[in-house]
Amino acid sequence: MVIAYFFIDLTLDIIRTYNYDFKVGESLVVAFLANIYGIGIFAFVGFVLPTSKLLPASYFTIKNADQLKSVYRILGVSYFRYLLLLFFWGSKKNRKKYFNGTRSGLTNFIYQSHQSEFGHLGGFVLLMLVFGIMVVKQFWLMAFFTLIINGFGNFYPIVLQRYHRIRIERIS
């Protein structure tokens, strides 16, 4: 898989780099590429394989809904959701891929939410490891950008998928 090669190559380049003062733009580009590659590894595999089955079913059960709702509210995930609807999921065609509005469509929606959450969780963990490497190497700005992009690119979607699951459990 080419994207995995690019991710590993980029990570090894970060590890091998010594005494280089990355500029703001360079730090942002490296952080962005690390996130795209890291997310892409799990996204592409998740498009063709039921990767969410690698986690136990109990992982997808919401154990403390009130705590999750608080995290959702405090982090402002509703604004993130609004932006997703506005720029990505706004068209009916895109939304129908996830949920067609029927009760039988709930099964597909649950499956898709598990797949999405697994992909974002894998990307999040992988990128937190890269973040750790950047911190150890003292690439502070690059680490900061990686953390921010990873937060919005992976952590927020995980919280959003879990929040959806609370709502789904009420009707299923």
How high is the pLDDT of residue 91?
67
The dihedral built from the CA positions of residue 5, 112, 76 and 83, taken in this order, carries a sign that is: positive
pTM metric for this prediction? 0.89
Q: pLDDT tens-digit profile of 68-83?
A: 999 999 999 999 999 9
DSSP strand E in 28-134: where? none
Per domain, the residue ranges of the chain are 2-50+65-171
Mean pLDDT by 10 residues, the chain (172 residues): 91 92 96 96 89 93 94 95 82 68 80 92 98 97 98 96 87 70
Q: What pLDDT, on the 0 to 100 scale, is given for residue 101?
A: 73
